[in-house]
Amino acid sequence: MGRRIPQEKKFISNLEIVDIAEEGKGVAKHDSMVLFVERGVPGDVVDVELMRKKKSFYEARVTKVNRPSAHRTEAFCAHFGVCGGCKWQHMEYAAQLTFKQQYVENVLRRIGKVDVQDIEPILPSQHTRYYRNKLEFTFSNKRWLTDLDEVVPGESMDALGFHVPGRFDKILKIEHCYLQADPSNALRNAISEFAERTGISFYDLRAHTGALRNLIIRTSSTGEIMVIVVFAYPNQEQIQELMGFLAAEFPQITSLLYVINQKKNDTIFDQDIHVYAGRDFIYEEMEGLRFKVGPKSFYQTNSAQAYQLYKITREFAELTGDQLVYDLYTGAGTIANFVARSAKHVIGVEYVPSAIEDARVNASINGIQNTEFYAGDMKDVLTADFVQEHGRPDVIITDPPRAGMHPDVVQRILEMESPKIVYVSCNAATQARDLEILASKYEVVRIKPVDMFPHTQHVENVVLLKLKSEWI
């Protein structure tokens, strides 16, 4: 935690924003100070309030824009600035892409010592609004009040929406969200209004009381809809009342589910799923392949852009139909099953057993017979004996979590000496760290950033590495 700034040192006027930091804040310098400025856009000249002093920098927020950057634009969402999502709405999309590309170049060069002069242009997202296929909302009996809210005596303080940044117990009531297409907004608002009208209590995030806890809405490219209502301490009458209302009011729901979660954390991965109506899954589709997505399944949240990402991955792999492919951190096997038609055999490895079950089901659904999947900690599964049994891969595809690959996994990859590695990452910094280690035997051949999450600082990056000639 940083310490608060004393009152007399709170404000700086006419500060120029000169860059964007890795976490998406504007960067400015004043005397010998480095400032990270919330909602600052490079080119802005602003007045700021200093909020916190950290070890080597200050945190600040814009209080007035004196001269707007050419990249600055009006945010389209009424909740911008309070809601924790879409933090770059105030920046033109073309500029967002520029700064994401620069970020990837900078971290690969600085951390990974990678030559980035031939990096390919970032692939823009096909959609910049309503692009997510999954959103999770929280019920709370203590809604966040903005400066514009007027509290009316006796008015309900219930809210269904998103957490306010830094406040686990406060929820911003969302009227309209631009992240997920219809009927997402209609569903959320109807549930909130029905619950308030019928007296079904909203959850108290501190006291852990109340009936309604979370709402998860999943949509798919096939037009199917999954709705999961998470209850904490309801009675069966309330469950039947709310779920019956949803079934009647929104007959287009393909999968209507509910969960009773009485734990103090929100995860439902260890909870039973109850089917109220329809199936317990929905389908996604990609190039004629169908993927079964259940309430606990992982699937890339931008369906259209996931297809583009997987096509780039397949292209980088340069598959000709006779290669053995290892797909590390395979998740639900989406990439493995997607590239299987272009490979001789694909082996997927993933830590989460339920994801591996999804991968096997998806292979079966599509009649794919040249994939096999293994569950377990990557560093424990991917041993010399495993490689001896299954063969040295011609191509390794790896798509690890944000923390990157475990050092033992990187060393095993170096020992395998696969001719090609396609490294997909949602965190270019940890990717760069791993690339520096892999550089002892591999050279980076292609780099392609992909924008999966418009109006945020997040960016995916795909790198093709080839084994150096002296190791072939």
Return the sign of the alpha-carbon dihedral for residues 86, 195, 171, 79.
positive
What is the per-residue burial (b if ≥16 Cβ within 10 Å, else e) of 54-80? eeebbbbbbeebeeebebbeebebebb
Give the C-alpha separation, 29 to 18, whole Å: 8
CA distances from 250 to 64, 228, 329, 387, 463 (A): 44, 13, 37, 51, 43
At 363 the three-state DSSP class reads helix
426 assigned to active site: yes
Which pair of tokens denotes residue 170? 């406060």
CB under 8 Å to 443, separation ≥6 — which residues? 465, 466, 468
What is the per-residue burial (b if ≥16 Cβ within 10 Å, else e) of 190-217? ebbeebeeeebbbbebeeeebbbbbbbb
Give the C-alpha separation, 145 to 208, whole Å: 21
Give the C-alpha separation, 402 to 428, whole Å: 9
341: β partners: none
Class of residue 376 by CB neighbours under 10 A (exposed 0-12, middle 13-18, buried 19+) = middle
Contact at 8 Å (CB) between 17 and 39? no
Measured in Å, how far apart are the chain's first and last C-alpha atoms?
50
Return the sign of the alpha-carbon dihedral for residues 92, 97, 98, 102.
positive
Catalytic residue among 83, 86, 177, 426: 426
Give the C-alpha separation, 391 to 408, whole Å: 19
User: Which stretch of DSSP H or E encloses residue 466?
Assistant: strand 460-467
Class of residue 414 by CB neighbours under 10 A (exposed 0-12, middle 13-18, buried 19+) = middle
* 8-state DSSP, 143: B
Contact at 8 Å (CB) between 340 and 362? no
- The length of the chain, given as a count of residues: 472
* 8-state DSSP, 121: P
Catalytic site positions: 426
